[in-house]
Amino acid sequence: MQSSTPDPVAVIGASGALGFGLTIRLARAGVPIVIGSRDAARAQETAQRAAALVPDGSFGGHDNAGAVREAGTVILSVPFRNQSETLTNLREALAPGQLLIDATVPLAAAVSGKATRMLGVWQGSAAQQAQEMVPEGVRVVSALHTVSAASLADLEHPLTQDVLVCGDSRADKREAAGVIELIDGLRCVDCGRLEMARTTEALTALLISVNSRYKAHAGIRLTSLPDSLWA
Ligand SMILES: NC(=O)c1ccc[n+]([C@@H]2O[C@H](COP(=O)([O-])OP(=O)(O)OC[C@H]3O[C@@H](n4cnc5c(N)ncnc54)[C@H](OP(=O)(O)O)[C@@H]3O)[C@@H](O)[C@H]2O)c1
């Protein structure tokens, strides 16, 4: 049977730590990546940096709006203080039917506070803020908060961890899991509705605290779950 190429994924914030790690891991899994940046030249430069690490990968680079227009799935990986500005700027580019995977964590560090403290978000979580800001018909799923950028960026580092996925539609979560699980070693777990993102986002602060104590890049692994999580 001929294996088909996965659909392209746009990564907004791919020049940053988490976005770049996701970019090279997904590209290594055969996913064509459209890199988005506020600056198209930085997107091109990031594409070159990624291609040097994953020579077989497929990388394009555009400004954020251009990247979003080229993919059905968009990963949003920007600091919390820039999430709303980024989504405002993408309002014309995002289209109904697109899937937005939001990885934003409302850490106090985003406003010069501690990375181990969470900011209160009026809507409940960064993901719910994203849901409120995207055009109608754009499907928002929350994921990837507990995966460390450093682990992703080290392609020699085996990943064996869970990705906690929240969203109001089981089908959307399954679709997001289908993309994320292309990365070897990541298992997606359905954690419930989007409002549960308030809890999963907060786990990043916990992991930063743990990792600073043990000088590690620990992730999360849930135990005693069934073998098949998305049937
Ligand atoms: N780092 C991790 O291990 C990790 C793990 C889980 C979740 N997260 C969350 O994922 C998100 C991204 O984290 P990160 O560590 O990758 O962040 P980062 O490296 O600081 O920034 C990511 C990208 O955001 C873009 N950006 C958009 N507006 C910006 C502005 N006004 N100022 C600065 N950058 C801006 C930049 O891309 P352009 O300049 O190209 O536009 C930047 O490269 C955050 O919400 C974070 O809490 C991070």
Q: How confident is the model at residue 3 (pLDDT cuts 50, 70, 90)?
A: low
Nearest-atom number in ligand 1 for the CA of 13 is 23
Q: Which of 77, 117, 166, 204 to mutate to test the pocket of ligand 1 (most atoms within 8 A of CB)?
A: 77
Q: Which helix (H) or strand (E) holds 39?
A: none
pLDDT at 172 over 60: yes
pLDDT at 95: 98
pLDDT at 108 over 80: yes
pTM of the model: 0.97
Q: How confident is the model at residue 116 (pLDDT cuts 50, 70, 90)?
A: confident
d(CA 26, CA 32): 8
Q: Using one digit for the tens of pLDDT, what is the confidence trace for 134-153?
A: 999 999 999 999 999 999 99
| Distance from the alpha carbon of residue 187 to the mean position of ligand 1, in angstroms | 23
Q: How confident is the model at residue 2 (pLDDT cuts 50, 70, 90)?
A: very low
For residue 157, give the nearest of 191, 117, 184 by alpha carbon: 184
pLDDT at 1 over 60: no
For residue 75, give the nearest of 141, 31, 137, 29 by alpha carbon: 141
DSSP state letter for 194? G
Task: Enumerate residues lining ligand 1, CB below 6 A.
Answer: 13, 15-19, 37-38, 42, 77-80, 82, 86, 103-105, 107, 145, 148-149, 204
Q: How confident is the model at residue 171 (pLDDT cuts 50, 70, 90)?
A: very high
Taking all residues of the chain, what is their mean pLDDT, rounded to a whole number?
96
Q: Which residue has the higher pLDDT, 203 or 111?
A: 203
Question: Which class does domain 9-214 fall in?
Answer: alpha beta
pLDDT at 62 over 70: yes
| Distance from the alpha carbon of residue 171 to the mean position of ligand 1, in angstroms | 27
For residue 119, give the nearest of 200, 194, 205, 191 by alpha carbon: 205
| Distance from the alpha carbon of residue 84 to the mean position of ligand 1, in angstroms | 13
